[in-house]
Chains A and B, each alone.
Chain A
């Protein structure tokens, strides 16, 4: 949890700030045409909490940690450390895979929540200095725009994403073939596969969430 959570925190926070800032810039330029720049806070909050926070955080952690898991476990496999573990009566799935999956599933929602918050902070800073939107107005609209279903969607997605990226990273690591070259291949594949799975799963989870939030209607 330390490596996955604390280790990923700087990049997640940095990315969150700039995602929020960019969201405000992009949405404000459109709302200005209709004279509704005050809606900026609503849109940024919804986009961050429902979608961008979970997806971007998932992709960042996939790039950083799924690759790390694949390379670490792959290196253990090619140096016979996994065989040594099995030879001493230890199940590698219990010892190596389960802790990583559990840690990622627990930590990713927390990282996402932090990314959402700093994203809103970054967005507020830009909104305050460039659009002259007051802090009370921005934060009030941002908070009021969010409903319980949005928060549930925003926290459920990271749980699924965390399971996927950790499982893919561990699987690619423990199925390495071809020595050190194979470890390199596995590392790249872990990032690519987990990233693609996150994006595909995000689509279906969004569909399901909207269905449930809409009382059974899409």
Chain B
């Protein structure tokens, strides 16, 4: 299923994909005609979409189209000027900051440059949320090591962020996001500025996170190849490696991809749909991204 947005006409909210049961069709994240702007003018001009349970929705668009704003709205770091943002059933716009602080404990956020606390070691960064929750020190230590082991960064446990490369900082950021095992993870350009090999490592981690823990994800990116990787590959837990999803397996989902694409243009949703619909689209603007 795909939705075109002919500029000037708002796209209707995404309908639940057919063939799935009602429980998995319940949106985990829901944007309803969201508008947000700053002094320079509106950035989001009526954005509507839904993310269902265990879905990965990839936000694509030119610089300045509001991808990061959508992530921050979903995390409750910003409030919409109008419209509604609902996450896990809560309308974030009507929540107080105290309520939002509690709500955000269900969200993992991987910032573009990692946003690690530069005066803390890797272990202290990853343990931050657990320390705030007042967990036992031994449990914190165990979970921190587990999270760092997941991203293959245990050796850097006592290092400071400025001793790490860009890719290592991203991996630690992912570990910090997943240590509390949140149901939702938000990624802001997780591979931006990284070389292809390190980007591949990051995408492998995201696949592993998606397929091991079954998280629902929203990912902003400029790199469509990362999104296609998420759509075409899965993490094989039995063999501990990434494998391509067979066409038969894709077909068995009755055309309901677990990875969908949402293109933004001039503050509105321009396209929303799966990989197949994107590749078959005759739209000239979309084709520019596929070059």
Residues of A within 8 A of B (CB): 76, 79-81, 83-91
Q: Are B101 and A80 in contact (CB under 8 A)?
A: no
Given contacts A81-B117, A84-B117, contact A90 B111 (CB under 8 A): no
Interface residues on B, range: 20 to 34
Q: Are B75 and A81 in contact (CB under 8 A)?
A: no
A and B contact pairs by CB, cutoff 8 A, 5 listed: A79-B118, A83-B72, A83-B109, A88-B109, A89-B104
On chain B, the residues within 8 Å of A84 by CB distance are 109, 111, 115-117
Q: Are B117 and A86 in contact (CB under 8 A)?
A: no
Residues of B within 8 A of A (CB): 72, 75, 77, 97-98, 101-105, 107, 109, 111-113, 115-118, 128-129, 132, 176
Extra inter-chain contacts (6) besides given A83-B111, A86-B101, CB under 8 Å: A81-B116, A83-B77, A84-B117, A86-B77, A86-B104, A89-B102
On chain A, the residues within 8 Å of B75 by CB distance are 87
Q: Are A80 and B129 in contact (CB under 8 A)?
A: no
On chain B, the residues within 8 Å of A87 by CB distance are 75, 77, 104, 107, 109, 111
Tell me how far the C-beta of B132 lies from the nearest C-beta in chain A, rounded to whole angstroms. 6
Alpha-carbon distance A80/B110, docked complex (angstroms): 11
Alpha-carbon distance A42/B119, docked complex (angstroms): 48
Interface contact tally, CB-CB below 8 A:
52
On chain A, the residues within 8 Å of B112 by CB distance are 80
On chain B, the residues within 8 Å of A90 by CB distance are 101, 128, 132
Chain B residue at minimal CB-CB distance from A93: B97
On chain A, the residues within 8 Å of B132 by CB distance are 88-90
- Which residue, of A79, A86, A87, A90, has the highest number of chain B Cβ atoms within 10 A? A87
Q: Are A79 and B77 in contact (CB under 8 A)?
A: no
Chain A residue at minimal CB-CB distance from B130: A88
Q: Are A91 and B101 in contact (CB under 8 A)?
A: yes
Chain B residue at minimal CB-CB distance from A83: B77
Alpha-carbon distance A61/B98, docked complex (angstroms): 33
Alpha-carbon distance A56/B72, docked complex (angstroms): 44
Complex A-B, nearest 10 residue pairs according to Cβ-Cβ distance, in ascending order: A80-B115, A84-B115, A87-B109, A89-B105, A88-B129, A89-B104, A89-B101, A80-B111, A81-B115, A87-B75
Chain B residue at minimal CB-CB distance from A75: B118
Tell me how far the C-beta of A76 lies from the nearest C-beta in chain B, rounded to whole angstroms. 8
Given contacts A83-B77, A84-B109, contact A89 B115 (CB under 8 A): no
Q: Are B115 and A88 in contact (CB under 8 A)?
A: no
Tell me how far the C-beta of B20 lies from the nearest C-beta in chain A, rounded to whole angstroms. 30
Alpha-carbon distance A49/B52, docked complex (angstroms): 68
Alpha-carbon distance A86/B101, docked complex (angstroms): 7
Q: Are B128 and A88 in contact (CB under 8 A)?
A: yes
- Which residue, of B102, B115, B132, has the highest number of chain A Cβ atoms within 10 A? B115
On chain B, the residues within 8 Å of A89 by CB distance are 101-105, 129, 132
Alpha-carbon distance A76/B118, docked complex (angstroms): 9
Alpha-carbon distance A85/B105, docked complex (angstroms): 11
Alpha-carbon distance A79/B128, docked complex (angstroms): 17
Tell me how far the C-beta of B183 lies from the nearest C-beta in chain A, rounded to whole angstroms. 14
Q: Are A83 and B129 in contact (CB under 8 A)?
A: no
Alpha-carbon distance A80/B75, docked complex (angstroms): 14
Alpha-carbon distance A93/B25, docked complex (angstroms): 39
Q: Are B113 and A80 in contact (CB under 8 A)?
A: yes
On chain A, the residues within 8 Å of B128 by CB distance are 88, 90
